[in-house]
A and B are shown apart, each in its own frame.
Chain A
């Protein structure tokens, strides 16, 4: 213990409160719950075996990953131009745009979900408008399926991508772009080979946040998704609440944790080389 303290630099102490809080209040009890994956109902790996062999779990886990990844991609496609625009704007216009992006935040998840039900259902606002304008002949199936789920999830996740990204983009030095242009690069080349790589830390931060939080969604898929879109948190909730087993839910959580950790490590390796700036 004393050796650890001696090895710590002054800046390290800054992180201690956070670490202590999370370890003591969260990590410790969570580990004892996760331990149930190998102790409930009896000691052994049978829960992991069930998860590995039963196709239901494979389907649900793959749903979760696919839906989260797709949500992340859509969010990135929509969010990058918006973050770029906000970063280029200044003063009042910037504040107005930030406000527009922040709006959904303040109206809770539950309210927004019911609002989407009203917007997306067969006689809802969107279908009525499309039918009235003659663009479609039959109402589109926009709800209780993956489409509705994506529509709702992307809207909820956009701010979580736009903000970290915008923070990074607003700090990108214009000088690089000007230098690139002066050296004869086309605007597209400047963007793709200078600006975009510089924005990587923001893209990675925002995407990871969106991806990881999407994995845990269950209210939205339960209320707006289809049967076949069941995500892992819904399954965990049903098993704990209705049946009272902790073993398989714990095993699924362990798998989520390990999977996410692996993805983090892979991304870190992949982007480590492009990290800019000298470290202290």
Chain B
């Protein structure tokens, strides 16, 4: 597979000040764009004060990710409508289940959830059905729209490597390379989660992306067995950054946003886009939410091109709204999962397929992990 993107250099080391000024420029760009859209968008003006006194709790994954979601979605929404959006988190699936089980108006209203939790939660009746007369689903790629949740940002699992270990452009390029400990020695890192790990193993074993599902679990586990002793498992995304930065692993699986963040801060990391596994975070509304119309409008606000672009420009998490691409910084474009070239090489993870299988596969996965 010929690959022109092969030689995208990792973002070079920048001094703190340069990074800060770039961010300032982006934030100003974003603010400028928002101001322009607010002035030009009659709908925005009409909404001013519409939800005065109404309150919602927005929950996400904390850190810089949530900070920018707040700046890109929640703050503009609050300013335009007078609603009060309170931030909380981090997302805690067990707490979400308890909340809905307790009934009444839940403490959390709009939540950024993983694709697997979207499907699991839908099956467990945790979410409100989206009102598509408010939430403009035509703005979002159809693959990322479901009845109970709509995509908020896209990202991918990529092959990553430490440029000090292999040299820029000379590291593993495909999942199969990750399984080749002779050509690419050193420990490799994988996420301690069955979802996506099985897909990676199968792709490494030569399975065609179109024939990936239903997953051949035994084949995947057998493939993983070949390098089991060379794997370091990470649980939180921050660990994946730390492992590469420390040189504790030479290569492995990482999320593109994490890699971008590490690279921006000067870490010797590079990623490859071949066979990247595409995934999406969804915004959902918890069942029983009182200010339902406010919630629907907030969700709708988050998929607008300006909000999507602002978030992407700052985090390298990709827009789900194709119209946002016209506002994306050239410099950050190569890092985005839904950038045209990257999507072409990508394989979309089929979270829907996992919905019923997770419980059953969990048993095999646990048995394998403990063996």
**Chain B residues, CB < 8 A from A88:** none
Chain B nearest CB from A226 CB (Å) reads 8
B93 engages A242 (CB within 8 Å):
yes
- Inter-chain contacts of A124 with B (CB < 8 A): 246, 248
Give which listed residue, A55, A60, A121, A223, contacts B246 with CB less than 8 A.
A121
For A59, the chain B residues whose CB sits under 8 A away are 370
Do B358 and A223 touch (CB < 8 A)?
Answer: no
Task: Report B117-140 residues with CB < 8 Å from chain A CB.
Answer: 117, 120-121, 124
Does any Cβ of A come within 8 Å of B94's Cβ?
yes
Q: Give chain A interface residues in 66-91, CB to chain B under 8 Å.
A: none
Residues of A near B116 (CB, < 8 A) are: 242
Residues of A within 8 A of B239 (CB): 117, 223
- Docked complex: B51-104 residues within 8 A CB-CB of A: 92-94, 97
Given contacts A56-B366, A124-B246, contact A244 B192 (CB under 8 A): no
Name which residue of chain B comes closest to A123, CB basis. Answer: B247
Q: Report if B147 contacts A (CB, 8 A).
A: no
A118 in the interface, Cβ–Cβ < 8 Å?
A: yes
Give complex CA distance A26, B13 in Å: 53
Interface contact B94-A240, CB-CB below 8 Å: yes
A60, A123, A235, A238 pick with most chain B CB within 10 angstroms: A238
Q: Does A222 contact B (CB under 8 A)?
A: yes
A197 to B318, CA, bound (A): 66
Separation in Å of the B114 CB from the closest CB of chain A?
Answer: 9
B99 to chain A, nearest CB (A): 13
What distance in Å separates the Cβ of A200 from its nearest Cβ neighbour in chain B? 37
> Could you say which residues of chain B place their CB within 8 Å of the CB of A243?
120, 358-359, 362
A279 to B10, CA, bound (A): 73
Interface: A122 (CB within 8 A):
yes
A93 adjacent to chain B (CB < 8 Å):
no
Residues B246 and A54 in contact, CB atoms below 8 Å apart: no
Q: Are B363 and A56 closer than 8 Å at their CB atoms?
A: yes
A123 to B245, CA, bound (A): 11
Task: Tell me whether B184 is interfacial, beta carbon within 8 Å.
Answer: no
Q: Provide the main secondary structure of the chain B interface.
A: helix
CB-CB under 8 A from A230, the residues of chain B are: 366, 369-370
Residues of A within 8 A of B246 (CB): 117-118, 121, 123-124
Residues 266-299 of chain B, each 1 if its beta carbon lies under 8 Å from chain A, else 0: 0000000000000000000000000000000000
- Cβ contact within 8 Å between A56 and B367: yes
Within the assembled complex, what's the spacing in Å between the Cα atoms of A122 and B242? Answer: 13
| B235 interfacial by beta-carbon distance below 8 Å | yes
Q: Are B235 and A223 in contact (CB under 8 A)?
A: yes
A6 and B366 CA atoms in complex are apart in Å by 55
Q: A228: CB under 8 A from chain B? A: yes
* A194 CB-CB contact with B under 8 Å: no
Which residue of A60, A117, A122, A245 contacts B370 across the interface (Cβ within 8 Å)? A60
Tally A residues with Cβ within 8 Å of B: 30
Pairwise interchain contact B369-A244, C-beta atoms closer than 8 A: no
Q: Is the CB of B248 within 8 A of A123?
A: yes
Asked if B333 is at the interface of the complex by the 8 Å CB criterion, the answer is no
Closest to B186 in A: A122
B94 and A235 contact, CB distance less than 8 A: no
Shortest Cβ distance from residue A13 to the other chain B in the assembled complex, whole angstroms:
34
Q: Which chain B residue shows the least CB distance to A245?
A: B359
Of the candidates A59, A122, A244, the one having the most CB atoms from chain B within 10 angstroms of its own CB is: A244
B residues less than 8 Å from A244 (CB atoms): 93, 97, 120-121, 124
Known: A123-B246, A123-B248, A124-B246. A227 touches B358 (CB 8 A): no
**CB-nearest residue of chain B relative to A229?**
B370
Q: Would B232 and A144 count as touching, CB distance under 8 A?
A: yes
| Docked-complex contact B94 and A121, CB < 8 angstroms | no
Decide if A117 touches B369 in the complex (CB within 8 Å): no
Q: B367: which A residues are within 8 A, CB to CB?
A: 55-56
Convert A9-37 into 0s and 1s, putting 1 for each residue whose CB lies closer than 8 angstroms to a CB of B. 00000000000000000000000000000
Separation of A216 and B233 alpha carbons in the complex (Å): 21
Contact assessment for B370 and A144 in the assembled complex, using a CB-CB cutoff below 8 Å: no
Which chain B residues lie closer than 8 Å to A1 at the CB level?
A: none
A241 contacts chain B at the CB level, 8 A cutoff: yes
Docked complex Cα distance between A132 and B163 (Å): 25
A240 in contact with B363 given A123-B247, A228-B370, A230-B370 (CB within 8 Å) = no
Which of B93, B124, B232, B233 is close to A241, meaning CB atoms less than 8 Å apart? B93
Which residues of chain A in 196-242 are interfacial with respect to chain B, using CB atoms and an 8 Å cutoff? Answer: 222-223, 227-228, 230, 235, 237-242
Q: Min CB distance, A73 to chain B, in Å? A: 23
With A54-B363, A117-B242, A223-B235 as known contacts, state yes or no: A242 contacts B248, CB within 8 Å. no
Given the interface contacts A55-B367, A242-B116, A245-B359, does A144 sit within 8 Å of B233 by beta carbon?
yes
Give Cα A121 to B359, complex, Å: 34
Contact residues in B for A55 (Cβ distance below 8 Å): 367
B93: chain A residues at CB < 8 Å are 240-242, 244
Hey, what's the 0/1 contact readout for B349-371 against A, CB within 8 Å counting as 1?
00000000011001100110111
Contact B358 A121 (CB under 8 A): no
In the complex, how many angstroms separate the beta carbon of B162 from the nearest chain A beta carbon? Answer: 11
Q: For the complex, what is the distance from the CA of A63 to the CA of B235, rounded to whole Å? A: 19
Minimum Cβ distance to chain A for residue B33 (Å): 38
7 contacts between A and B (CB under 8 A): A63-B370, A117-B239, A228-B371, A230-B369, A238-B362, A241-B93, A242-B117
Residues of A within 8 A of B (CB): 54-56, 59-60, 63, 114, 117-118, 121-124, 143-144, 222-223, 227-228, 230, 235, 237-245
Given A228-B370, A235-B366, 16 other A-B residues pairs in contact with their CB atoms under 8 A = A54-B363, A55-B367, A56-B366, A56-B367, A63-B370, A121-B248, A123-B248, A222-B192, A227-B369, A228-B369, A230-B370, A240-B93, A240-B94, A240-B97, A241-B92, A241-B94
Those 10 A-B pairs whose CB atoms lie nearest each other, nearest first: A241-B93, A121-B248, A56-B366, A240-B94, A227-B369, A59-B370, A241-B94, A123-B247, A222-B235, A243-B359
